[in-house]
Structure 1
Amino acid sequence: MPPLVETERLVIELLLVLSLVAIGVRWLRIPYTVALVLVGLLISLQGSQRLELTPELIMALFVPPLVFEAAFQLRWQDLSANFRPIILLAVPGVLVTTLLVGTVVALGAGLPWGTSLVFGALISATDPIAVTALFRTLGSPRRLAVIVEGESLFNDGTAIVVFGLAVSAAMAIQEGLSSQPVASQVVAAAITFLRVSFVGLLVGSSLGWLVSLVIARLDDYLIETTLTMVLAFGAYLLAEQLHASGVLAVVAAGIITGSLGVRGMSPTTRIVLTNFWEYLAFIVNSFVFLLIGLAINLSDIAANWLPVAIAVIAVLASRALVIYGLAGAAGSKGDRLPRSYRHVLFWGGMRGAISLALALSLPAALAGRDLVRAMAFAVVLFTLTAQGTTIGSLLKRLKLVRADPMQLEYERRHARLAGAQSARAHLRQLYESGALPRASWESLDAALETEVNDRQADLQDLLCAHPELQSRQIEQAWREGLLARRASLSAMRRDGAISDPVYEELAAEIDSALQALRLQRHDLRPVCPAPEEPPATNQPGIEAPR
């Protein structure tokens, strides 16, 4: 079979696996990303698929869309409001993690100091995909989600820069090329770090600003979506060509476009752009975590169980020090992170694709490279499986899940009403098919009709007592109606009933209505019937109804 056809077959098979896993996790109650890693492990144990997960594949192809999508959704207002804890975790936090993990690994695993610091740098990058997915599902506080996402975006870039400096220093020491004093080396590394970070942020901000200006002068959602894709990959490649941080460039480009670029977009473009990047991030994330499972070699981890255990303990200890010490003590008394937030930040500090990409990119001549890779793979596997499967329980235990009692009561009453209506409809079908006698049907129908009316009254009473709850139901129903209108327009254009100009005009009107609904700029208001006047009983000659 030709290589191209073989690759195409493999991609289709992986897409099918992704779809099946996504369907299966609805019943398994575990994070989708964790399930993908486990499935990848099972496939690798079978030996049916062996893929080479190269650092170039992760860094150049997978990282830009993932980082851009997350940065695009992160608003500047939210970022600036939580700037202090994010920067503390992303810069000093990465440095503390690098030094602490490197020290523990050097003393406990017997690796050279240079190699140990390299491991500390590559394992300092967090990957909160599983955590943020749970945040959206469970409805956790917005500030907590912003801090987790912001830390991951910026500490990825920081970790990559520190990793590059650590590798250069380790190789120079190993080859006997380092003759400068330690103080001079530290100063030179600090200057390089600042230059690489600043240039990366400058490149991304400039490109994001330029693309935002272009988008503001266009009204074609296909071209505008294409420009954002060019921006995501172009910012990364240009920054890397300038020997700067490509990840920080993509972060800056995504934040600028998400904050400034959307102002010049039509409602149609915003919807298409959001859906496109959400789908692309889903596909890329799915491939990344499935490939992580395929790339992990359990036999290597088992053969180095003691250094692996030391590495896991060092990572957890350093995370605890950074969260409870550095980030917990920062800020004024009223601005400090709540204790519950710190618990989630500690246990949610999982590792993923960036750490694996850096581990795979280690020079072959680096002393202890194979052991570093085994430890990196083991830490990623531990954090994704042990922490990823329990973070949801921690959120619930800390009561960081917004469980609206009235929403639950609405769901309860609505389900009872739907059940009674479904039972009545099913019995009607039995009666009409001759399977249920007329006398039995009339008796059951009368009872079910009474129950349906009672359930409808209970539901109406709840909605009228809580107008904000009824507003949400009205908005949801109206959104479904608008989407049905759009689907009808698409069908009419496909059948040739309307021309493209008419379709685009009417579709833009519907998209504007959807955007107004999302921003809660609409005139939909809950309406409840006026209470009935009690019947008069004190007038002569009139008897109150019984």
Structure 2
Amino acid sequence: MEEFLNIEIEIVEVLLIVTLVAMVARRIKLPYTVALVLAGLLIALQNELRIELTPELVLALFLPPLVFEAAFHLRLGQLRANLTPILTLAIPGVLLSTALVGILLSLFGILPLPAALLFGALIAATDPVAVIAVFRAVGAPKQLTVLVEGESLFNDGTAIVVFHIMLAYVLEGTLSPLEGVVDFFIVSLGGVAIGLILGYGTAELIARIDDYLIEITLTTVAAYGSYLIAESFHMSGVLAVVMAGLVIGNVGPRGMSPTTRIVLINFWEYLAFLANSFVFILIGMNVEYDELLQFAGSALVA
């Protein structure tokens, strides 16, 4: 019981810190995510809060709401109009970035090629939160925002698939390039199919229900369920969530009342804010200062 209370207290403290950081960052015009990481670093120095940031926590708990909320707000008309540059940046762009980073790290003798390519896949996908905030502040063209947001949705899926393929290669050393390409398409298309099925199924249910609490619950089930189902079949959970969010965000509102639409948008905006806040502050809190100083040069190069 005491352990549970301690965890609850830590979560409440993080929420309070997140709120204060958001207020300060807005006032001094510092990107919110940067401010959160810096706050996390300061907290880590005090050694008062230690919430471990695990891959399972990020992927299973925080990633679905972040991806779903972004996909939910992306209009299909905008996506179709910019599909070619979005997919070019998200697929060949990520693959090229992975290859360039891997080859350069290998040539300079920093890492062997397989491990270097694994690292390249790890950093290939970019987070658009700070960039989008700047775009909104300076009044950048809407098309530019759509390109960045759309590319960020699909590059996450590409990078995660490539990362898992390279991880298997590093650990087992048996993966051929042809097998890698085949696995990439199977994992990607499988995730897309699962997301489409769950997205359309949820949209159909929403059209038959007039209760915003139930409809919010259904979208939550779709966001997390699409990820978990896809991952259980070894498909791309990220792409499954992307497709579910796109379908529900574009088809679902047709069967929603105005009240439901407003409540649903606000719910997912808050959930994404919460997930994003926890991820970045936990990144700062989990930094080991000795390792940070040791690998500072490599981090700056990355």
Band the TM-score falls in, shorter-chain normalisation:
over 0.9
Matches within 5 A, 1:3-18: 3-18=3-18
What is the CA-CA distance between 1:79 and the residue it aligns to?
0.6
Query: How many Å separate the matches in 1 of 2:80 and 2:110?
Result: 42
SS of the residue aligned with 2:124? coil
Say what the alpha-carbon RMSD is for the aligned residues. 1.4
Match of 2:270 in 1: 279
What TM-score comes out, normalization by structure 1 length?
Answer: 0.54
From the two aligned structures, give the one with the greater helix fraction: 2
Higher relative contact order (CA 8 A, sep 6+): 2
Match of 1:409 in 2: none
Are 1:237 and 2:228 an aligned pair? yes
Is there any run of 5+ residues in structure 2 with no aligned partner, and where? none
Match of 1:147 in 2: 147
Query: How many Å separate the matches in 1 of 2:15 and 2:285?
Result: 14
What is the CA-CA distance between 1:69 and the residue it aligns to?
0.3
- Which range is displaced more, 5-14 or 21-30? 21-30
Query: How many Å separate the matches in 2 of 1:14 and 1:281?
Result: 16
Are 1:79 and 2:82 an aligned pair? no
SS of the residue aligned with 1:251? helix
In 1, are the aligned partners of 2:10 and 2:49 still within 8 Å (CA)? no
Matches within 5 A, 1:362-373: none
Question: Deviation per CA, 1:431-457, whole angstroms, max 9, x where unpaired?
Answer: xxxxxxxxxxxxxxxxxxxxxxxxxxx
What TM-score comes out, normalization by structure 2 length?
Answer: 0.96
Q: 1:266 aligns with which of 257, 267, 274?
A: 257
Match of 1:304 in 2: 295
In 2, are the aligned partners of 1:105 and 1:307 still within 8 Å (CA)? no
Query: How many Å separate the matches in 2 of 1:56 and 1:305?
Result: 26
What is the CA-CA distance between 1:194 and the residue it aligns to?
0.3
Match of 1:160 in 2: 160
Query: How many Å separate the matches in 1 of 2:39 and 2:3?
Result: 25
What is the CA-CA distance between 1:217 and the residue it aligns to?
1.0
Q: Which amino acid aligns with 2:202?
A: V
Match of 1:209 in 2: 200
What is the CA-CA distance between 1:109 and the residue it aligns to?
4.4
Are 1:289 and 2:280 an aligned pair? yes
SS of the residue aligned with 1:250? helix
Question: Deviation per CA, 1:171-215, whole angstroms, max 9, x where unpaired?
Answer: 123xxxx3x8xxxx1111101100000010000011100111111
What is the CA-CA distance between 1:145 and the residue it aligns to?
0.5
Q: Which amino acid aligns with 2:259?
A: T
What is the CA-CA distance between 1:138 and the residue it aligns to?
3.5
Is there any run of 5+ residues in structure 1 with no aligned partner, and where? 313-546
Are 1:36 and 2:36 an aligned pair? yes
Query: How many Å separate the matches in 1 of 2:274 and 2:137?
Result: 19
Match of 2:53 in 1: 53
Q: 1:225 aligns with which of 202, 212, 216?
A: 216
What is the CA-CA distance between 1:147 and the residue it aligns to?
0.5
What is the CA-CA distance between 1:45 and the residue it aligns to?
1.9
Are 1:170 and 2:159 an aligned pair? no
SS of the residue aligned with 1:260? helix
Query: How many Å separate the matches in 2 of 1:69 and 1:110?
Result: 38
Q: Which amino acid aligns with 1:55?
A: P
What is the CA-CA distance between 1:283 and the residue it aligns to?
1.1
Question: Deviation per CA, 1:408-448, whole angstroms, max 9, x where unpaired?
Answer: xxxxxxxxxxxxxxxxxxxxxxxxxxxxxxxxxxxxxxxxx
Query: Aligned in 2, Cα 1:62/1:165: closer, same or farther, shift over 3 Å?
Result: same
Question: Deviation per CA, 1:147-178, whole angstroms, max 9, x where unpaired?
Answer: 000111000000000001101111123xxxx3
What is the CA-CA distance between 1:276 and the residue it aligns to?
0.5
Query: How many Å separate the matches in 1 of 2:145 and 2:57?
Result: 28
Question: Deviation per CA, 1:376-396, whole angstroms, max 9, x where unpaired?
Answer: xxxxxxxxxxxxxxxxxxxxx
What is the CA-CA distance between 1:23 and the residue it aligns to?
1.6
Instruction: State, as a whole percentage, how many aligned pairs show the same letter.
Output: 54
What is the CA-CA distance between 1:307 and the residue it aligns to?
3.4
Match of 2:122 in 1: 122
What is the CA-CA distance between 1:306 and the residue it aligns to?
4.0
